[in-house]
Every structure is written in C-alpha cells, then in structure tokens.
Chains A and B, each alone.
Chain A
Amino acid sequence: MISITSEQIEQINLHGERDYPYECCGLLIGRFGNDGAKVVLETFPISNAREESAKRNRFLIQPEELMRGEKYARGQDMEVVGFYHSHPESPAVPSQYDLEHAWPTYSYIIVSVINQKAGDLFSWEQRPDRSKFEREEMRVAVNGA
C-alpha cells in the first residue's frame, strides 16, 4: 500500500505531459512504514538518461542520479520508496522490460500519457519471486484534508 497526495499525483501528471512524447521518470521519496506500507512525501524528477532515439519508450535513471536522490532523502530523514515513469501512447501497465529491471518492495507508479494528456495512473509492486507485478493499493490524500 502506498499513500500519496493529489498534489504529488498532479506533479507526476505534469512531468509526463511536459516530456511527452518522451518518457519521463523520477523518484518517490518518503518513508517505509510497517508491513511495507509506504508514504510519499516528495516527488523528485530525474532527467531521462536514455539516448534520444530510445526515449519514446525507454527511460533510465543512472545510479549516480539515484545516489544523489538517496543522499538528498537521507538528509531529510527519508528514503527512496519507489519510482515513477510515463508510458506515452501506451497503457499504465508494466512491460516485461519493467519487470526485468525492478526490485520488490519499491513502488513503481506508471502514468499513461495519450496525446500529451495524462490519463490512468497506477502503482505497481513486484512479487518477491520476480514473477510479475501486482497492482498496489494507492491511498490518495486530497491536499489540505
């Protein structure tokens, strides 16, 4: 289960629309609670490091960037709890490629961007046996509430 605010979802949507037709990506920074439940406290946009020709359907966060994010998070007494990326002109479901490049416990939020407009947004979690992703329950807090 992951808790996120409507404002953070809006930031992810806007990033996806801004980088369209390329894939956007970023870190979810927050805290791990009990039983693997996560709370997102900040989104952390990352520049997509894939070469130009592959950006439409690939994203890559370099380890240096992740270390930078981890360092920042730790400084705020937080942790990287997951990642988000967009699927331009494609549904918000993980691909085989996503599965091969993921770890369990992290949340993987995917937003579908069709015609430069953000649509479905789902969070996914990899099974501990790496066999597949499962939809993760998302608890959305409306800001101010």
Chain B
Amino acid sequence: MPIIIAIPAPLRQFTGGQSQIEVDAKTAGEALDRLTSAHSALRRHLFNDQNALRNFVNVYLNDEDIRHASGPDTPVKDGDTLMIVPSIAGGAVIEEEVGQSLPELSNEEIMRYSRHLIMPEVGMQGQRKLKAASVLMIGTGGLGAPVGMYLAAAGVGRIGIVDFDVVEESNLQRQIIHGTKDLGRRKIESARDRLRDINPHIEIETHESRLTSHNAMGLFRNYDIIVDGTDNFPTRYLVNDACVLSGKPNVYGSIFRFEGQASVFWAERGACYRCLYPEPPPPGLVPSCAEGGVLGVLPGIVGAIQANETIKLILGADDTLINRLLLFDAWTMKFREFKLRKDPKCPVCGENPTVTKLIDYEEFCGLGAQHTPPPQEKLDEITAIELNARRLRGDNIQIIDVREPHEFEIARIPGTKLIPLGHVVGRMNEIDPAVDTIMHCKGGVRSAKAIEALKRAGFTGKLINLKGGITAWSEDVDPRVAKY
C-alpha cells in the first residue's frame, strides 16, 4: 500500500531533491526502513548508531506523533502521510557534556531509588534530575506534610521549608510530618528532623518566617518549583503573584472540610491562580479549616497529588495539572476536573498586567486595618479571668454559647446556655435584657458577629464578648475544659 513520506527541506539533498517519496509499507517503521534503504545517506540523519530514531527526530502520521501511538509499529494505510519533523535542541557547554551537568548518584542512592530507576519514565536520567532539583514548600501543615515527606523520599535534592508556627496538639490529626514528641517545637525544626530521617542524602533548608511581600521574591529566586500549602487567601495570592513575577511554577492545593482542589499554575505555560479567581472572596465568607474543620486524611490525599505533580514537572512529564483544576470530594469519593484557560485580561499574567510587583495582600483580601469597626460601635469585651472573677463574686450575669451543638459536646463552660449563631436573632427572647450578657464561641469571632446581629435586631441589653472564647477560658481559668 503506497504512503507518502514528506521530506523536510534540509534532507532533500539526500533524496535527489525530492520533497515527497512514496513507499509501500504496513507500519511507520517499515516505511522509514524502505525510505532509508532507497536513500542510504539519509539514514544517519534519522537514526543513531544503535539504530534507534535520533531523539530529536519526530515522526508524525498525518497529524499524530507516532510515539503517542505504537511507535515504529504504528500501522499505516493507503494514502497516509508521514512527516519527519525535528525538535531543535542545543545549547552552550557550561559543564563538559550533556548529562554530565546533572549530579551523579552514589551506589547507596542507586539502591535507595531502585524502584524509580527501573521505570523508563524516571530512570537514571530522571533520578539525577530529581537530585538536581530544588523545591520550596510554603507551610509544613496538613498539605506540606505529605508534600515534604514524598519529595524527600523521592530524592529531590534540595527542599526549602517556610513556616513560623509551632506544633500544637490540634495539628496532629492531619499534619503527619510532626509527632506527639514535637508538641511546642518550631514546625520547621520538627519537619526538618523528620525529612532528614526519611532521606539523609538531600539538603533541607529552613526559613523561619512568615511569607511576606518583602521576602517572597528573594526566597523564590533560589528554587525551581514552589509548592503552595497555605491555608489563607492573602498568602495564596502572594504565592501566585510572586510565582508569576519570577516565572516559577506554583503547585497548588487547598482543602476545606471534605473537599480539596489541586492544580499547577505556571503563567509561562498556562493559567495562573488569578486567571481562575481574579478576586478574593469577601472576608469571612469562606471559613478557614480552624473554623470549618477538615477531615484529617484529606490534606494527605491532596498533598500527595501536589507531590506527584511536582515530581512530574521535574521529570518533564507531559500530562501535568497545567490548565486543569482537579476537584476532589472525600465524602462522596469523587474526582472532577475543569479545564482552565489563561485569561488575556489577567491582572498579573495577562497581556497588559496591572500588578507588576508584589502588593499588600492583607489589604487586597479585605483584611486591612480600614475594616475595623468605627469606635462608637466598639465591642464590649471581657477576659476569661475577669469573667471568672465576676462569677465568683456572684454577679447576676448570663453566659450565651453561640457555637454549634457538636462543639458544645466537646467542651463547655459551666452554667452557659447554648444558642448557635444561626438562631441567635430568632431566639432573642430567651436572652434577658435586664442583666449583663456574656457571649462566647471557640475563639471570639462568631460571638462578636452574634453581638452585632443582636444589636441590629434591636436587642437593648448589655452584650459583652468573651475575648479568646472558650479556648482562653481553658488556658487561663480551667484547664479541665478541653481545647479543640
């Protein structure tokens, strides 16, 4: 069956000037063999000494790369066209030879990474790429834990970690990089020890600070890939913008309750976070994990996806999460996927960007100082110690707990009445306006909202917010009340 092979211009000198040659063949490989036996001078430009296609030579059957079909065994039929297209590669010799610019693996490392090495998708070359790579993780919390542990185990040569927090008991339900023995330690130290234990062959760099508009560009400069494991919008926009401005890929993950998201935002190749979400949600609309809760295993799954994508970026794999948003629901156990597209009007990576340097992200997310309420509406507050003193004095007061019933189950301040925030206005008549009312929740935010709502609804009695909520009560007054 005759098929047509299109000869690129520079190779026509080997085909007597012909731009197309017809051959009879059943497979693409057979067609190339026929071609090069008829025009033998052509062979060395297509095949190497081992008789394999040179790695920069690509063969397209009609419009598809035969590597994506069955390679040389791809069947061809009458009337098909084979095109020979080079991918043009080259470059300066900074270190002597190609391949030698990548670090060597020791025998111990070869043993350790053997399950990688025997897969052609990784192999020696890929494992050396991993060793040459550097990754900066923002946060060592729920997402950062699996990201760091898998990247360290995979042999990523240099891992940077940024965090400023200490390990608390409520972290351990999901942040598996830290253990009970680490309670009270700085997270970066605890994480560093764990990663070193997993793999002593890699470098770990710790940066104990909050990521800010002042330090982000300087930190990002020294790493190839940034992994976002943050839990708040200002830092998420900061990571995105700093990645766009420094040309780095941003491996994104986020979690809430049972739902997670993951993507790779790399402005040079596709959409960035702002192409997807140009504006942050209004403050308070999307609760944090501390307020809304999170299933402990969820960041394990989403963080493992981030580690997976990071490794694929280093290896140069094709099908990464660039321009794809993956949504995961752990409760229904369903994955969904959306296509993303780069927004030409994107304020940071679009054609006419308005954000050309890092800005104040607290203000951008509506959390700036201008949002504190005017002074005449100032909230009356009481500390846990003062409240306890009033109780002991026998003052006539009432305490309203505005948390949810399942929180009330976990811990409560004695002698309180439970009216969840959502019902507080509807059940206003249960609150006596003649005596002072102390409102409390877990940390003091929801109770402040309850006070505001009651005032707006016309409640006339005196309302006082318990500063720091039941958490402060447990810390300062009665440690038998469980913290959660």
A residues bordering B, Cβ < 8 Å? Answer: 23, 25, 32, 36, 47, 51-54, 56-63, 66-67, 70, 79-81, 83, 85, 87-90, 94-98, 100-106, 108, 128-130
Contact between B65 and A32, CB atoms less than 8 A apart: no
A15 to chain B, nearest CB (A): 15
From the candidates B41, B91, B133, B314, name the one contacting A128 in the complex (CB within 8 A).
B41
**Are B101 and A57 neighbours in the complex by a CB distance under 8 Å?**
yes
**A90 with B93, Cβ < 8 A, contacts A53-B132, A53-B224, A105-B13 known:** yes
Q: Is B90 an interface residue (CB 8 A)?
A: yes
| Contact assessment for B248 and A61 in the assembled complex, using a CB-CB cutoff below 8 Å | no
A57 contact set on B, CB distance < 8 A: 91-95, 101
Contact between B90 and A101, CB atoms less than 8 A apart: yes
User: CA separation between A80 and B12, bound complex, in Å?
Assistant: 13
Q: What is the CA–CA distance of A25 and B316 in the complex, to the nearest angstrom?
A: 19
Picked from A62, A81, A94, the residue with its CB within 8 Å of the CB of B90 is: A94
Q: Nearest B residue to A102 by beta-carbon distance?
A: B90
Task: Find out whether the CB atom of B88 lies under 8 angstroms from the CB atom of A83.
Answer: yes
Shortest distance in angstroms between B250's beta carbon and chain A's nearest beta carbon?
Answer: 12
User: What separation, in Å, do the CA atoms of A23 and B85 have in the docked complex?
Assistant: 22
B90 touching A98, Cβ below 8 Å? yes
B92 and A95 form a contact (CB under 8 A): yes
What's the least CB distance linking A130 to chain B, in Å?
A: 6
Interchain CA distance A83-B88 in the complex, whole Å? 8
In this complex, which of B54, B56, B89 has the most chain A Cβ atoms within 10 angstroms of its Cβ? B89
Residues on A with C-beta less than 8 A from B86 are 63, 66, 101, 103
Contacts of B88 in A (CB 8 A): 25, 59-61, 66, 83, 101-102
Chain A neighbourhood of B91, CB < 8 A:
23, 57-59, 85, 87, 95, 97-98
**What's the least CB distance linking B337 to chain A, in Å?**
23
Question: Across the interface, which residues of B come within 8 angstroms of A94, CB to CB?
Answer: 90
Name which residue of chain A comes closest to B314, CB basis: A51
A102–B90 alpha-carbon span in the complex (Å): 8
Q: Are A63 and B58 in contact (CB under 8 A)?
A: yes
**B10 close to A (CB within 8 Å):** yes
Q: Which of B32-82 contact A (CB under 8 A)?
A: 41, 44-45, 54, 56, 58, 60, 65
B9 touches A101 (CB 8 A): no
B370 at the interface (CB under 8 A from A): no
> Which residues of B are found within 8 Å of A83, using beta-carbon distances?
88, 90
**B376 proximal to A (CB < 8 A):** no
Closest residue of B by beta carbon distance from A82: B10
A64 to chain B, nearest CB (A): 9
Binary contact track B399-418/A, C-beta < 8 Å → 1, others 0: 00000000000000000000
Complex A-B, nearest 9 residue pairs according to Cβ-Cβ distance, in ascending order: A105-B10, A90-B92, A87-B92, A98-B90, A95-B93, A58-B91, A61-B88, A63-B58, A101-B89
Please give, as numbers and ranges, the residues of chain A lying within 8 Å of B268 by CB-CB distance: 47
